Amino acid sequence: MRSGIGLPKRTQGVLKALGLRKRMKTVFYPVTPEVAGQIMKVKELVAVREVEKALSKEELKEERRPDAGYYLESAAPR
Amino acid sequence: MFGAFKPTNALSGGLLWKIPWRLSKFQKQRQRRRLRAVDTVVSVIDQALAKKGITTKAVERWKDEMPIEQEMLPKDKYTIFDRKEKKYRKGIHKLPKWTRLSQRLNPPGY
């Protein structure tokens, strides 16, 4: 979520190793001690969530889509 | 003398930054939110690992040593220890990169 600019090279390296090259990037990893340790290194910069399976690009985009603010009613038959 | 070019300290002296000595209530609110965000990251990792029955040193150590946001004293949330400062405390916003660092503990007694 947050950028590693200006932080120690090691912290930036951990971000890079996790595949977080840009802000707001989402990556998926299995629950392992190694990944947990990496996330702990950059815990101030990321948001973490546990999901059943890795979401596809389309699903992620759908998740980000804001509420349309309206809904379509079906036209009544005349 | 007047108007847009009046000789203020910042204009005449060149480099003059004015950093307030304490945080505003909005900065404090954001600081609390950041602290809680870090707490949620740690708890999510901990729960995910606990489901698999794994423990990790980094997580365990953090849980042992660091207080969560609700347990922290306001003094520790918004100020840090500094030996050069009067009364040994200064605002946490004087710490470089303070919004992206975890600075929760201070020397006991100060």
Domain extents in chain B: 21-100
Q: What pTM was estimated for this model as a whole?
A: 0.82
For residues A73 and B35, give the distance between their C-alpha atoms in angstroms, rounded to a whole number: 44
CA dist list (Å): B39 to A36, B23, B58, B60: 14, 22, 14, 13
Gap between the Cα atoms of B29 and B37, Å rounded: 12
Q: How confident is the model at residue B14 (pLDDT cuts 50, 70, 90)?
A: low
ipTM of this complex: 0.81
Q: Which of A33, A37, A44 sits opposite B102 (nearest CB)?
A: A44
* All structural domains of chain A with their residue ranges: 9-54
What CA–CA distance (Å, rounded) separates B80 from B82? 6
Which of B36, B39, B45, B97 to probe the A interface (max A CBs under 10 A)? B45
Residue B35 is classified by DSSP as H
- Any CB–CB contact under 8 A between B9 and chain A? no
Q: Which residues contact A49 (CB under 8 A, 6 or more apart)?
A: B44
Pairwise CB contact (< 8 Å): A2 & B100: yes
Average pLDDT (A56-66) is 92
